[in-house]
Amino acid sequence: MKPRTRVTRYTVNALSPTHPKADLFAVHVEEATPGRWAITNRFLHLGPDGQWAIPPYAGRSLPEALALAEHIAPRLVVNGVSVTDAISSPT
């Protein structure tokens, strides 16, 4: 049997990959079950109500989840720090 490779996680980030806080502001779109995708930031999942909460939330299609992650990434606030603040103060 030949191994197969498939993508099960995408990363969306408004910060450059070299920014020291890029990992904190990463929004991930992860396949939770076949064909159903969750939007995560570290250990939190984005719920249907748009609030971050403890999992499980995995009810989105891939196109819907990627579009929502791209919408959320530039607006993300982590520990009171916005993406704009992180870009202005990279340390």
Q: What pLDDT sits at residue 19?
A: 94
pLDDT above 70 (res 58): no
| Secondary structure of 15-59 as H, E, C letters | CCCCCCCCCCCCEEEEEEECCEEEEEECCEEECCCCCEECCCCCC
Per-residue pLDDT, averaged over 34-58, amounts to 87
Q: What pLDDT sits at residue 90?
A: 67
Between 19 and 49, the higher pLDDT residue = 19
